[in-house]
Amino acid sequence: MKNYYLKNVATLKLESPKCTGCGKCIEVCPHQVFVMREGKSVIVEKDRCMECGACVKNCPFNVLEVKPGVGCASAIIIGWLTGTEPSCDCSGSSGGCC
């Protein structure tokens, strides 16, 4: 799956120098945001990040940060729950604002 969301809005951050290369983030990321380079994980496709938080929850070394619930995944879930059209548009009150 190679979905892209809005450009340059994902809150995902990685402190690469502190990464030990365990590969958990690569293992759990549903959109191949990370790859291993020179024994460390690096972000290669940040715009694929749906801010689900799986990488953060599974990183045993706390080198990842993301604000889950602020991106497109949140908008889609809110749309399902409320029966409305999913929107990452920050101009309205959809609650799914990126």
Domain assignment present for 89: no
7 or 90: which leads in pLDDT:
7
For 70-91, what is the HEC assignment? CCHHHHHHHHHHHCCCCCCCCC
Domain assignment present for 72: yes
- The pLDDT tens digits for 24-51 are 999 999 899 999 999 999 999 998 888 8
CATH of the domain at 45: 3.30.70.20
Domain assignment present for 7: no
Domain assignment present for 73: yes
Domain assignment present for 90: no
- The pLDDT tens digits for 50-69 are 888 999 999 999 999 998 76
pTM of the model: 0.69
Residues with Cβ within 8 Å of 32's Cβ and at least 6 positions away in sequence, in order, are 2, 44, 45, 48
- The pLDDT tens digits for 63-98 are 999 987 666 666 777 777 888 876 655 444 444 444
Domains contained in the chain, number? 1
Domain assignment present for 31: yes
Domain assignment present for 30: yes
- Could you tell me the residue range of the domain that residue 73 belongs to? 13-82
Domain assignment present for 8: no
